Structure 1
Amino acid sequence: MPDAVAARSGVDLVIVTGVSGGGRSTVARALENVGYYVVDNLPQALMVDMAELAGQAGGAARRTAMVLDVRSRAFSTDLSGAVGALRERGFHPRVVFVDADDEVLIRRFESVRRSHPLQGDGRLADGIAAERKLLAEAREQADVLIDTTHLNVNQLRSRVEELFGGEDARRLRITVLSFGFKYGLPPDADFVCDARFLPNPYWVPELREHTGREAGVSDYVLGQPGAHEFVAGYAGMIGATASGFEREGKRYLTVAVGCTGGKHRSVAIAEELARVLREQRLAASAQHRDLGRE
């Protein structure tokens, strides 16, 4: 049993609830961005079972967020009882309640032309009032209250990441991916750089069988006119846009560097570009899609 108790206490458990239209789905996506395993629309009756599974599974599941919605047929108003049951078993859940002013909620529903899940044949305001009554105790007992009345989607996401992510989780991660044009463009590339303007080491007999990760090929490629300027230009562009991507919620950026076969020039340039980006204090790493295919 001590092992089971330790496993439960090690689970980072977040419970998200709140009013419809308040921004629960945005909160859920933000929690996913910072590494939580998110279970949406979970019935309260299954909260303990889900928490136990997270404790047993370990790994990524040890950071689990459960999103509760009054639209679930299994929704119960006794959230405090469910949270109490979790704590009795050794879990330490944090409850996040997402709220907004009635006028803002009405505008949000009207903008997407949706009815409130609890309004029935009444008005939007009637549905909002009914939901507030159901959720009054949950709101009062929440550990974190996020009022989204004056927050846009990006501001709400940033708020969640500040609360649950830590600095590293909010950083943009850059993958510099080498590839060969003859094998096709990487479909997930955000930027595509063409290194084929540089002389091809393939035509240098002593370099042909080596790759851009080896010093001889790398020195040859980076020693060509324009190579360092090419790297510096792209590093400058990425550095200038990185903070903007972070503000807009982008967490992963792929910069694809191509040459003919993805063995020499693109590999050397990708390694150098990733190194320069790290010198700029950006989280960058090099990967090589087509290395070894020839």
Structure 2
Amino acid sequence: MIEEKKDLILEIQKNFTKLSKGQKLIAQYIIDNYDKAAFMTASKLAKTVNVSESTVVRFANALGFDGYPQLQKGLQNIIKIKLTTVQRVEMSRDYSDEEVILKKMFKSDIDNIRATQENMDYQAFQSVVDKILSAEKIYIIGLRSSTALAQYLGFYLNLVLDNVKVVGYGISDIFEQMLRVSEKDLVIGISFPRYSNRTVEVLKYAEEQKATIVSITDSIMSPIYELSDHCLTAKNNMASFVDSLVAPLSLINALIISVGMREKEEITRYFNKLEGLWDKYHVYDREK
């Protein structure tokens, strides 16, 4: 399907000469204004370009889509990668006040979680849990906005397992931290639009070392999808210049709990010991 290709804009350009006169007007408008077109209805796009709505539908068909909604979805997937932060701010101009923002953000995050649940590959999820438990060492890499997700996953997996390493910027270069990765290890790569090139490079290195790679990303269009042996996707459709990480975090929570329940007896003993240390060294505040 066209919607699975890496660059829909490039696909439109490649097919430009085959299009009718009216379809070329649509194509040129999308190429020049893809950030606006992605959120237009077929009738709105037709009116803007001054063609009929049926011409818009035929344009979508000419690109291999079943209809305009599929083309629109493809455009929305593409702009998550292409939009600059400035363009994202421009998209947020209709957020008139804080109440509107609050309602839109909640609705967007709820929709993302629902879509993630409905499209979850449960067999893949189970396979990832198996790989986490059988790996000799686990490396977790997530940069830019995905750093928070990587740190969160690493923090809780470290409470359950003793072979987890979160890779990130620090005193040592990222590749130095990955130097000993091998075919016995698992590398979990986390990346959401706009995708970090460094994360892609690290996973390519891990692939060369024959490590098992799990990706946590937004779709099969992600550059880390093709590098992974197992992929879990979570929707993060943006409603503003801030990336929505609610659904990815919910997915990561499910992973942590699933791993913990497989090791229930072990972590019960571990947490009993840990609670003693926390009490002794006053790690958490206690009511008197």
Q: Which TM-score band (shorter chain)?
A: under 0.3
With normalisation by structure 1, the TM-score equals 0.24
- The answer to which structure, 1 or 2, has the higher relative contact order (CA under 8 A, 6+ apart) is 1
Normalized per residue, the structure richer in strand is 1
Normalized per residue, the structure richer in helix is 2
